[in-house]
Amino acid sequence: MTYKAFTEQDAIDRVRTLGLIGDGAVEAEEIGDGNLNLVFRIREGEHRLILKQALPYAKVVGESWPLSLERAWIEQSALREFARHAVPFVPRVFHASHEEAYTVMEDLSHLTIVRSGLLAGEQYPLLAEHIGSYLARTLFHTSDFALGPVEKKRVARTYYNPDLCDITEKLIFTDPFHDAETNEIETGLEEEVARLWADDELKREVAKLEALFITKGDALLHGDLHTGSIFASATETKVIDPEFAFYGPFGFDVGQFIAHLFFAAYPDYPTRRDARIKDIDTFWLTFASTFRALWEREAVEPFQAPGLVDDVLSTILQDALGFAGCELIRRTIGLAPVADLESIDSTTERLERKRHALRLGAALIKRRTECRTFDDLRNFDVTEELSR
């Protein structure tokens, strides 16, 4: 079968042919935001499925940004790989087609997208712990340290994902740090942004973080782990959409998630601040203790060397803080703004929060190597940075 973008009827036909639904009355609805993919929810009574199909371009910047359909296969490969290591936190995949670039998976509409839920005042008391566990397990188990270098090289070959990595390289590390067309800078932020663009130390440190992103293949990353890629309830957490998956540095997913917990503190600031700082704390403690336990129990020789895992965790922390800083800056002035900031009604407050995000981002990037342990981040006084 050659690729074509599906209609709702095409989606129904596929899942019926696959025997994933019966012969009863079936409805299908396209519910995606349509930027990169079509997302069909298919219902047969109480039975629900999602069929997600990649589009051959990114609509967000017009149809002129072509994207390889290969990413759909990468996404379903990553979902299956992540499920092997962290099954409670990954949607079930029922079928995937390489040629037609679609995946049929579990519907999660009993849960809410974390970004919208937090904005609406929902609580996710297990979110930070669940994501800490999810990342420790997926990062460790797809690394050389669990798989051994030969098997890791074999697994890593699947995740050749230059198009999507290129988006990250441009939108996170490059464009926000100079006057690029993709930026969306709110009126009133010009002075703050000019200061960023004149900061040579900042630009050098960002270039180092980009170099790390493009050269270090520690583990299979989700690649886009923000609060819009997580479905949750008070008891359940599911990480979706790993189409940016590739072999990258341990600290990248960790840092992106931290950045989006910072963002979640901005609406109703400073009321929600302490809860989100506590989430970051819980997240890191869970991540670090789980990662350490897995390493100590399962790392292949010679990586059981005494003290090595401490160094690895310090490096992950420092890198993560740097990546978090980049994400804070790019989501504040770059192409893909976050509702956490944009939904703040008062212009004065919104600009104030955006300035905070830019300053916190720059501080995390430039001062990340001061943090040997997470306690050093506390000394670093994030709350002060936030309120400066």
- State the binding site for substrate: 224, 330
Q: How far is the CB of 111 from its own copies (least distance, A)?
A: 34
Measured CA to CA in angstroms, residue 362 lies from 163, 267, 359 at distances of 27, 21, 5
**Contact flag: residue 61 with its own copies (CB under 8 A):** no
**Interacting positions 216-275 with its own copies (CB under 8 A):** 216-218
Residue type, 186: E
Residue 267 or 325 with smaller CB distance to its own copies: 325
Tell me if 67 sits within 8 A of 37, measured CB to CB.
no
Among residues 9, 241, 57, 234, the alpha carbon closest in space to that of 129 is found at: 234
Among 149, 270, 342, 384, binds its own copies (CB under 8 A): 149
Cα of first residue to Cα of last residue in the chain, in angstroms, is: 58
Measured CA to CA in angstroms, residue 343 lies from 115, 119, 120, 217, 349 at distances of 12, 9, 11, 37, 11
| Distance separating alpha carbons of residues 172 and 326, to the nearest angstrom | 6
Q: How far is the CB of 146 from its own copies (least distance, A)?
A: 12
Count residues near its own copies (CB under 8 A).
40
Question: Mask 312-351, x = binds its own copies (CB under 8 A)?
Answer: x---------------------------------------
Binding region for its own copies (CB under 8 A) out of 127-135, 214-222, 268-276, 376-384: 214-222
| Distance separating alpha carbons of residues 87 and 157, to the nearest angstrom | 23
* Kind of pairing between the strands at 102-106 and 47-54: antiparallel
**Contact flag: residue 362 with its own copies (CB under 8 A):** no
CA gyration radius for the chain? 21
Among 68, 112, 158, 174, binds its own copies (CB under 8 A): 174
**Contact flag: residue 47 with its own copies (CB under 8 A):** no
Binding residues for its own copies, rule: CB under 8 A, are 144-145, 149-150, 152-154, 157, 160, 162-163, 165-166, 169, 173-174, 177-178, 200, 203-204, 206-208, 210-211, 214-218, 301-303, 305-308, 311-312
